[in-house]
């Protein structure tokens, strides 16, 4: 990470409180927010149609309620002046932290909530002795700002010769070719 990145994160840190949430209850406001504000992924996948639906929010709530107590996920509430402004959900194991999903109130991008939470995730991962930080799938520009590099991943795609399966497979193939991973 460059000095410019570290400086940008530090400059915004004082504006935000990023609080790790422990002991989530099923009826907690934080659990209820899981999946709210999630934007659709640019990666072609039949599941993206579910993002933002009640079914997706229930799935996200169930994920955090199951994985947080087992130490396999972490949830940060992002607050400013005491008001909940966003939520970050990350997955983790003993080796790596996996930046999974985040959602912030509209209009906050210029205040840098993502920079602060990613900075906190870096720091927490280092303090926990993790060697890796994985932004997971996607080539969003902010990931490269932090020094991320593309890595080819093994992917198993199951489908039939139906239009939706063909469309998903074709979309994945186009994305892989764009990255130079498929021939």
pLDDT tens per residue, range 127-156: 999 988 888 877 778 787 777 787 777 667
**Tokens matching residue 23:** 């002991």
Q: State whether residue 102 is helix, strand or coil.
A: strand
Domain boundaries, given as residue ranges, for the chain = 3-151, 154-183
**Tokens matching residue 32:** 């209820």
Cα–Cα distance between 3 and 16 in angstroms, integer? 21
Give residue-wise pLDDT tens across range 40-85: 444 445 555 666 678 877 888 888 888 888 889 888 887 777 787 7
> Which H/E stretch holds residue 69?
none
Of the candidates 101, 108, 60, 116, the one whose C-alpha atom is nearest the C-alpha of residue 85 is: 108
CATH of 3-151, one of 3.10.150.10, 3.40.50.450, 3.40.630.30, 3.40.190.10: 3.40.630.30
Q: Structure pTM?
A: 0.65
Residues 31 and 61: beta-carbon distance below 8 Å: yes
């Amino acid at each position: 990470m460059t000095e410019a990145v570290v400086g940008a994160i530090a400059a915004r840190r004082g504006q935000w409180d990023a609080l790790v949430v422990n002991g989530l209850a099923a009826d907690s406001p934080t659990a209820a927010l899981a999946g709210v504000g999630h934007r659709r992924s640019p990666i072609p996948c039949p599941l993206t149609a579910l993002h933002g639906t009640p079914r997706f929010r229930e799935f996200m709530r169930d994920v955090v309620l199951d994985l947080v107590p087992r130490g396999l996920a972490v949830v940060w509430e992002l607050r400013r002046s005491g008001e909940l402004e966003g939520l970050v959900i990350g997955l983790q194991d003993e080796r790596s932290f996996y930046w999974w999903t985040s959602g912030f109130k509209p209009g906050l991008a210029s205040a840098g909530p993502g920079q602060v939470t990613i900075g906190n995730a870096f720091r927490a991962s280092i303090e926990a002795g993790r060697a890796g930080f994985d932004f997971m799938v996607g080539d969003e520009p902010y990931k490269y700002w932090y020094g991320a590099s593309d890595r080819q991943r093994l992917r198993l795609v199951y489908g039939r010769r139906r239009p939706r399966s063909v469309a998903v497979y074709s979309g994945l193939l186009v994305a892989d070719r764009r990255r130079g991973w498929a021939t």
